Amino acid sequence: MAAPNPFANVRWIWKNGELVEFEKATVHVLTHALHYGSGVFEGIRCYRTPDGPAVFRLPEHLRRLALSAKIYRMELPFSIAQIRDAIVDTIRGNGFEACYIRPLVFRGFGSMGVNPLRSPVEVVIAAWPWGKYLGDEALAQGVDVCVSSWRRPSSSTLPSMAKATGNYLNSQLIKMEAVTTGFVEGIALDAGGYVSEGSGENLFLVQDGVLMTPPLSASLLPGITRDAIITLARDFGIKVREQVIPRGMLYTCDELFFTGTAAEITPVRSVDHIPVGAGRPGEITLRLAAEFMALVSGKLPDRHGWLYPVSMAAAAPARQAAATSSAAGPPTAPAILEALEAVEISHTAETAAELVAAGRGAAGAAESEG
């Protein structure tokens, strides 16, 4: 039985400033990115909540997109505000209450050859329904994975900090090796032989009640869901360590799970046919997964300001109202985006902490003016 087509209900794709029909969202065969992997992108989720669709951590995703483009010297032809509004327009145009969102910045048709600087930078945004990335039963049962023979390249070879299209050739090798040998996913080691991440997910393990994850120096993408799980673990008083993890700990840890926009939180049941812990999702894994899903679905208050309501984005009065929330709490996603609009994000070196502080300041200023 053929799998359902996830793109069957996609009517519109945003391309270079306008929504175009799905069938017309095409590029030239000599597009630079097709030949040389010259593109950067994001994977973002929009969740169905009681208050309507809401995008998870939109400011952080847009910041990472801009910084990825900066690393590859790609001048964004649209502002952060324009890309934000385009994402909202794409969701609304297709009538989605929940979806996966893929903004892509790439070098278009201009010239051939390795030098990308003579090819124009284009932007497209697509959205489509996407369920559980590693299977519908993954959260309840866990998945079986292997340690890949393919390693993540050194950061001096390819910058893992950038979510670049070319980086995913390595991910494809990891994924294909896993699925063709009977596993759901593969875990890559870094150039030094220490644990890095999955083909498209970050990785956490639990040992004696301590949550551990490899450091950014292990050639991994600084995941936005990864950061969220670290935050939630600290909310619960769980000790968190970012540390070098030897391969052997994959076999001896009590719990193991993936995180990512597509994967969300996916427990690992076995590694190389060796059961993880009791061979089923562990207590800390399930607790963090339950909290995460309750927050993104709006069943719990958005205490960290992670949800960006789609209905709010198009109307300035609604954004201003959101910014008047208490400055004592975390800045809302709209408040952080207002702060992002005020800076040239693609060519500055502000830290995430500075942006959060700017968002909090924007919220406080709105409150004092109101």
Do the Cβ atoms of 220 and 244 come closer than 8 Å?
no
Q: Which of 163, 175, 239, 299 is catalytic?
A: 163
Single-letter amino acid code for the residue at 58: L
Assess whether pLDDT exceeds 80 at residue 365.
no
Handedness of CA 169, 192, 271, 278 (dihedral sign): negative
Across the chain, which distance is largest between two alpha carbons, in Å? 62
Same domain, 144 and 283: yes
Whether 16 and 114 map to the same domain: the answer is yes
pLDDT for 138: 81
Looking at residues 228-248, what average pLDDT do you find?
98
C-alpha distance from residue 280 to each of 159, 228, 258, 288 (Å):
35, 23, 14, 15
> Quick one: 57 and 97 in the same domain?
yes
Residue identified by tokens 């400011």 is 59
Asked if residue 53 is part of any domain, the answer here is yes
In a domain, 266, yes or no: yes
Q: Would residue 336 count as lying in a domain?
A: yes
What CA–CA distances, in Å, run from 10 to 7, 25, 212? Answer: 5, 12, 39
Query: What is the 8-class DSSP label of residue 110?
Result: S
46 assigned to some structural domain: yes
**Alpha carbons 48 and 133: distance in angstroms, whole number:** 17
The 10s digit of each residue's pLDDT in 155-210 is 899 999 999 999 999 999 999 999 999 999 999 999 999 999 999 999 999 999 99
Q: Is 163 considered catalytic here?
A: yes
* Residues 331 and 350 occupy one common structural domain: yes
Residues 272 and 160 in one domain: yes
Q: Are 291 and 193 in the same domain?
A: yes
Beta bridge partners of 205: 212, 256
Does 309 reside within a domain? no
Distance, CA of 26 to CA of 186 (rounded, Å): 32
Token representation of residue 364: 């406080």
Q: What is the pLDDT of residue 178?
A: 98
* Domain coverage including residue 358: 315-369
- How far is it, in rounded angstroms, from Cα 106 to Cα 326? 39
The SS3 assignment for 169 reads helix
pLDDT class of 335 with cuts at 50, 70, 90: low
Of 110, 128, 146, which residue sits at a domain end? 128
Query: Residue 224 belongs to what H/E stretch?
Result: helix 224-235
308, part of any domain: no
Residue 345 DSSP code: G
Give yes or no for residue 321 having a pLDDT over 50: no
* Integer Rg of the chain from CA: 20
* 289 and 159 co-located in one domain: yes
* pLDDT 10s digits, 120-161: 999 999 999 987 656 567 888 999 999 999 999 998 999 999
Please tell me whether residues 60 and 181 are part of one structural domain: no
Task: Verify that 200 and 51 share a domain, yes or no.
Answer: no
Can you give the CATH number for the domain in which 218 is found?
A: 3.20.10.10
Q: State whether 153 and 278 are in the same domain.
A: yes
Query: Strand, helix or coil at 362?
Result: helix
User: Is the per-residue pLDDT at 80 higher than 70?
Assistant: yes
In a domain, 169, yes or no: yes
**0.75 surpassed by pTM:** yes
CA distance linking residue 125 with residue 28, whole number of Å: 17
Q: What share of the chain is helix, strand, coil (3-state, %, to 5)?
A: 35, 25, 40
